[in-house]
Amino acid sequence: MKFSLFRKHKQQQDIEKPAVSSEELKEETTTALEETESEEIKQEATTQQPEPIPEPAPQQENTMPQQEQKLETPEIITKTYLKAMPLKELTDIENVKNEVRNGNIIILRVTPLANKSIEDVKSAVNQLYEFSEAVGGDIARLGEERVVICPKNIRIWREKTSVSTSVSNESLPTAA
């Protein structure tokens, strides 16, 4: 491909040159032949040196529209999946971390582990919280038995509650 671009560029230069007489043309070709012969002799004398790398042909301006350029350049599109997983043991945490590293969103059901040990659930959630902070992701609780963990390019929306600064005269409801 580069060679054809180079030839095309060379042909354009030849078209741009003014007309040359036949005598001047003969003179140019003989000097060019002499130069190539002297270069070959120099190369034979210095066989230990590697051949010089030819300079790439100058690139021409790209006149293709933007849409055509996008079609030619293949992009790797990775899909993000939403996966639901149960947390049965503490060893399942590594699977959850791998899924989040791969860019997937995980909804983790902690009830199976909570039936065994509440302390293990606390430990698992703390590990997942630290992990999500380390990778720049996000983690939140979904109800009493689920936790959602997101990769770095996804954030969880949280409704902000406003705190009333004014003191009202109404009494607060009691549990009694």
What are the DSSP E strand ranges found in 35-119?
Answer: 82-86, 105-109
Residue 32 near residue 26, CB atoms below 8 Å? no
Residue 85 near residue 95, CB atoms below 8 Å? yes
Residue 139 near residue 106, CB atoms below 8 Å? no
Residue 103 near residue 151, CB atoms below 8 Å? yes
Write the CATH number of the domain with boundaries 82-150: 3.30.110.150
Per-residue pLDDT of 85-121, as tens digits, reads 999 999 999 999 999 999 999 999 999 999 999 999 9
Q: How far apart are the first and last CA of the chain?
A: 85
- Cα–Cα nearest to 110, from 94, 133, 97, 93: 93
- Cα–Cα nearest to 83, from 99, 71, 67: 99
Residue 104 near residue 80, CB atoms below 8 Å? yes
Per-residue pLDDT of 9-19, as tens digits, reads 455 555 555 55
Per-residue pLDDT of 50-85, as tens digits, reads 555 666 555 555 555 555 555 555 566 788 999 999
Per-residue pLDDT of 14-53, as tens digits, reads 555 555 556 665 666 666 666 666 566 555 555 555 555 6
Residues written for the chain: 176
For residues 110 and 124, give the distance between their C-alpha atoms in angstroms, rounded to a whole number. 9
